[in-house]
Amino acid sequence: MTTLQSLLARTDANAAVAWVLTGGLLGAVGQFWRIGELDWAVVTMLLVGVTITIPIVARTPTVMLPAELLAAAAVPVAVRATGMLPQVTPFVAVAALGVLTVVVLDATTSLSMTPRFAAVFVVVVTMAGAGVWTVGTWVADTIVGTMFVGGKTELMWDLIIATVVGVGAGLLFDGYVVVSDRIEHLRTATGHTGTASTSTGGSLPGSTQQQRRVVRLLQLLLVGITIVALARRNVTLVVNSGVPLAITFLPAVLRREFDYTMDPGLVVWITLATVLHAVGAVALYELYGWYDSLTHTFSASLIAGGGYAIARSVEHHTQAVSFTRGFRGSFVVLFVLAVGVAWEILEFASGGVATLVGGEAVLAQYGTTDIVNDLVFNAAGAVVVATLGSAHFEGIAAWLASRVDVLVRGGS
């Protein structure tokens, strides 16, 4: 089976072409700098930096990234240099950077990724990069007076294009790895091996009985909001209270159907996040601008936990995957940013549907400042979990891995 470590060949021909392409990228850095395209100069320099990491670590110029991958990464740089497709090429470059980065990380560190996970990671990196790009350009417009962000619609189409590009890059990379016939192991060339660290579990404060009582009270509050929404025939509020109410029963469904008992403290965490959103939909979102930031931070912490659980469950499931603590934390933040971009697209689509069919949008979006604010506080919630709260999701990760094992054995 082809692995990421086998993508590099220690051949003079591959190295010669790869070095020529690297030189071209380095020349493009100077060109972008001269014409004032500083953002592109930085992106291109990052491509160069990732590329030369391989021969530096291997201590030989003949071990390089595959020339075809470098050629693909150079395409958006060349297109941008000619001034064509300015809206698409930044995200293509970010996707290319993600592809090169996963290969280098897997080859030169103690990380181990399966090609399929690496492809997913490329998608996540591209979408997260679009989120960072959005925040950065908005800050530049606000502080420096640049005009990167044209308006909400233009910004949202940028995010949609980035998502499409990211998915496409992930699929193409997965296909490339599958058909690749390079069988030289880079890990042998660089001599890097290691194992990932693990973390321990944790629990939220309070006794189990007290935590369950809190959950029941919060569920009753959601029931009350849903009843009021039905009485007023407010479809938007019904969705924004009924769906959160349904989510609070997910732990009970898991316990009944799969015999998995979620930590009661985590159940409180989930329930409180859903209640905060439902209460905000009643009136608080419109009355207090800070309330939306609060709910995004709280919800993002759960999404971060989900991302962490997914990554850890992959580690539990297969020995071919091994992550470091630092990578897990980085993945959590990138995962939340990517999901945040997807959520903004969903809100944008909700407004489009409401315009077409009439009525009020189920999910509201109030402009570029609101989009940027959501992305920033999503990241804040992710950082909290990555640094302080990931241990609370170890149990879910182990359960997910066990379910995957059962499905694999059942299908074999």
Mean pLDDT, all residues of the chain: 79
Identify the pLDDT of residue 124: 92
Q: Are 98 and 169 in contact (CB under 8 A)?
A: yes
Identify the pLDDT of residue 408: 56
| Helix 368-384 and helix 152-179, axial crossing angle in degrees, nearest 10 | 50
**Can you tell me the distance from the alpha carbon of 75 to that of 70, in angstroms, rounded to the nearest whole number?**
9
Identify the pLDDT of residue 187: 43
Q: What pTM was estimated for this model as a whole?
A: 0.75
- Percent of the chain beyond pLDDT 70? 83
Q: How would residue 194 be classed by pLDDT, with cut points 50, 70 and 90?
A: very low
CA proximity to 127, closest of 338, 406, 395, 385? 338
- Would you state the torsion angle of the CA atoms of residues 202, 208, 214, 218, taken in this order, to the nearest 10 degrees? 70
Identify the pLDDT of residue 195: 43
- Would you state the torsion angle of the CA atoms of residues 170, 149, 292, 340, taken in this order, to the nearest 10 degrees? 0
With a cut of 50, say whether residue 235 has pLDDT above it: yes
**Phi/psi at 148 (5° precision):** -70, -45
Q: How would residue 197 be classed by pLDDT, with cut points 50, 70 and 90?
A: very low
CA proximity to 277, closest of 380, 362, 392? 362
Residue type, 102: V
Identify the pLDDT of residue 24: 92
With a cut of 80, say whether residue 193 has pLDDT above it: no
**Can you tell me the distance from the alpha carbon of 241 to that of 361, in angstroms, rounded to the nearest whole number?**
15
**Sequence-ordered list of residues with C-beta below 8 angstroms from that of 208, at least 6 positions apart, any chain:** 264
Between 114-123, 188-197, 269-278, 343-352, the lowest mean confidence (pLDDT) is in 188-197
Identify the pLDDT of residue 204: 46
**Segment 328-348 mean pLDDT:** 89
- 285 versus 103: which is more confidently predicted? 103
Identify the pLDDT of residue 127: 92
User: Can you give the length of the chain in residues?
Assistant: 412
Q: How would residue 230 be classed by pLDDT, with cut points 50, 70 and 90?
A: confident
- 234 versus 131: which is more confidently predicted? 131
With a cut of 70, say whether residue 409 has pLDDT above it: no
Q: How would residue 220 be classed by pLDDT, with cut points 50, 70 and 90?
A: confident
**Sequence-ordered list of residues with C-beta below 8 angstroms from that of 139, at least 6 positions apart, any chain:** none
Give the DSSP letter string of 165-199.
Answer: HHHHHHHHHHHHHHH------HHHHHT--------
**Can you tell me the distance from the alpha carbon of 176 to that of 380, in angstroms, rounded to the nearest whole number?**
35
Q: How would residue 6 be classed by pLDDT, with cut points 50, 70 and 90?
A: low
Cα–Cα distances (Å) from 283 to 278, 291, 378, in that order, read: 9, 10, 21
**Can you tell me the distance from the alpha carbon of 113 to that of 107, in angstroms, rounded to the nearest whole number?**
10
Q: How would residue 266 be classed by pLDDT, with cut points 50, 70 and 90?
A: low
Q: How would residue 207 be classed by pLDDT, with cut points 50, 70 and 90?
A: low
Q: Are 127 and 162 in contact (CB under 8 A)?
A: yes
CA proximity to 6, closest of 126, 137, 113, 117? 113
**Can you tell me the distance from the alpha carbon of 206 to that of 194, in angstroms, rounded to the nearest whole number?**
39
With a cut of 60, say whether residue 86 has pLDDT above it: yes
Identify the pLDDT of residue 260: 66
**Sequence-ordered list of residues with C-beta below 8 angstroms from that of 42, at least 6 positions apart, any chain:** none
Identify the pLDDT of residue 82: 76
Cβ atoms within 10 A of the Cβ of 187, count?
Answer: 18
With a cut of 50, say whether residue 38 has pLDDT above it: yes
138: tokens are 């908005």
**Can you tell me the distance from the alpha carbon of 170 to that of 193, in angstroms, rounded to the nearest whole number?**
26
The partner residues of 112 in beta bridges, in order of sequence, read: 322
Cα–Cα distances (Å) from 360 to 152, 365, 376, in that order, read: 18, 12, 26
The partner residues of 322 in beta bridges, in order of sequence, read: 112
Identify the pLDDT of residue 201: 45
**Can you tell me the distance from the alpha carbon of 225 to that of 127, in angstroms, rounded to the nearest whole number?**
34
Identify the pLDDT of residue 183: 36
Q: How would residue 384 be classed by pLDDT, with cut points 50, 70 and 90?
A: confident
Please tell me which of 161-165, 260-264, 287-291 the model is most confident about, judged by mean pLDDT: 161-165
With a cut of 60, say whether residue 212 has pLDDT above it: yes
With a cut of 60, say whether residue 83 has pLDDT above it: yes
**Segment 281-296 mean pLDDT:** 76
Cα–Cα distances (Å) from 93 to 64, 201, 297, in that order, read: 19, 38, 29
> What's the farthest any 2 CA atoms get from each other in the chain?
75
Identify the pLDDT of residue 203: 47
Residue range 95-130, pLDDT digits in tens? 999 999 988 888 787 778 888 888 899 999 999 988
With a cut of 80, say whether residue 388 has pLDDT above it: no
How far does Cα 236 stand from its chain's mean position? 28
**What 3-state DSSP class applies to 112?**
strand
